[in-house]
Amino acid sequence: MKTIKSNVFKCIALSAVVLSPLAVEAKSLNIAFTQTMDSQYGAAAKAFQSELDKRSNHEFKVDLKPAGALGGEREVIESLQLGITAMTISSTGPLGNFDKDVYLFDFPYIFKSYDHAHKVLDSSIGQNMLKGLSNHGIKGLAWGENGFRQLTYNGPAILKPSDMDGNKIRTMENKVHLATFKSLGSAPVPMSWTEVFTALQQGTIDGQENPINLAVTSKLYEVQKQASMTQHFYSPAVIAMSQSYWDGLSQQEQQWVQESANVAAKAMRESRAKLEAEAMTELTKQGMTIHTVDIEPFIEATAPIRKKLASDMGFTQQLADIEAMN
C-alpha cells in the first residue's frame, strides 16, 4: 500500500515537472538595511529592486527590509555568511570584524572629498577589497555610499578637539573608530544603530556620529540639539550578497544581479548628495544648531592615532597610495 501510494505521488510530482516546463519559480531575495526607506539606503534598495525586476523579466521577488527589520548590521552580515539573508546594504562599521582589510577605509581623515573617495573605491584598491570579502562568505557587489560622518549631540558645543573630552559618543562596532574617539579624549560607546535612538532619548549617551542627512531621515532632531560638521570619517556602504546565495545563481542571473547592484550604487551616491544638501536647512528648521568647524585641528589631533593604527595593522603603504590619489 505504502509503495503504491508513494509511486502515485512520484507520478504526480513528475508530471507536474514535465507538464510545466515554462513555469520558472520566482527566486525570493531579501535586502536588509538599518536605515529608513527615505534614506540613501532606501534609494539604493529600490533601484536594485526595479532594475533586477526589469533585467530578469520578473524572475526575482525582491523584498526590502529597512529600519533594522532583520537586525543590526553585524547580525545581518553574520546572517549573510550563513546564507539566511540574501543581501544587505551596510556601512563598513562592523565589516572589519569579518575581514580586517576593510578597516583601511575606516581611518579618520584619509579621504579629502567625495571625489577622492569615489576614485579610490572605484580603483583596484576598492575593487580588490570587494573581491576579498568572498573569502568570508560575502559576495561584495558594489560600493554605494553612506557619507562623511558628523557629530550630533547634547551639551556644550564641540568646535575643537579638546571639546570632545569625556563625551559619551556612540560609535559603530569598529575598533578603528573606537581608537580614534578614545585618542581624542572622548568616551566612545560602541553599539548597533538599532539601539541608538533609544540610548539618545534615555541619555545613556550624549551623541552619535553619522552622515548628517541620517539625522533627518531617522528624526534624530527629536533627541539631539546640536551638530558639528567634523567630517571625521568617510563611510562607504557595501552592497553585498550572501556568497552561498550568489554561488547558487546561474551565470546569467549573476550578471543581472551585478548590473543591478552597479545601478543601485550609483543611485545611492546621488541620493546621498541630494539628501545631504537639504539636511542642514531641515535640521535648523527642526530646532538644531549646526556648527561648521575648522577641521584642520581635528586632522592634526588624529595624526598620531592614524600613524599608530597604520603601522599596527600594516596599512602604511596603502594609506600613502590613497593619499596620492587625491
| Residues contributing to the site for ligand EAX (CB under 6 A) | 34-35, 73, 90-91, 93, 146, 172, 193, 210, 235
Supply the minimum distance, in Å, between the C-beta of residue 236 and ligand EAX. Answer: 10
Q: Dihedral of CA 178/194/50/276: which sign? A: negative
Nearer to ligand EAX, 34 or 226 (CB): 34
Question: In a 3-state reduction of DSSP, which class is residue 240?
Answer: strand
Supply the minimum distance, in Å, between the C-beta of residue 17 and ligand EAX. Answer: 43
Supply the minimum distance, in Å, between the C-beta of residue 266 and ligand EAX. Answer: 18
Supply the minimum distance, in Å, between the C-beta of residue 166 and ligand EAX. Answer: 21
Q: What is the number of alpha carbons within 13 Å of residue 183 lying toward its C-beta?
A: 21
> Is residue 90 within 8 Å of 33, Cβ to Cβ?
yes
Nearer to ligand EAX, 56 or 188 (CB): 188
**Number of other CB atoms surrounding residue 212 within 10 Å:** 26
Distance CA 98, CA 95 (A): 5
Largest CA distance in the chain: 84
Nearer to ligand EAX, 94 or 126 (CB): 94
For residue 85, the 8-state DSSP code is S
Nearer to ligand EAX, 139 or 177 (CB): 177
Nearer to ligand EAX, 35 or 152 (CB): 35
Nearer to ligand EAX, 153 or 256 (CB): 153
Supply the minimum distance, in Å, between the C-beta of residue 325 and ligand EAX. Answer: 24
Distance CA 273, CA 114 (A): 9
Supply the minimum distance, in Å, between the C-beta of residue 72 and ligand EAX. Answer: 8
**Which of 153, 194, 192, 187 has the alpha carbon at shortest distance from 173?**
192
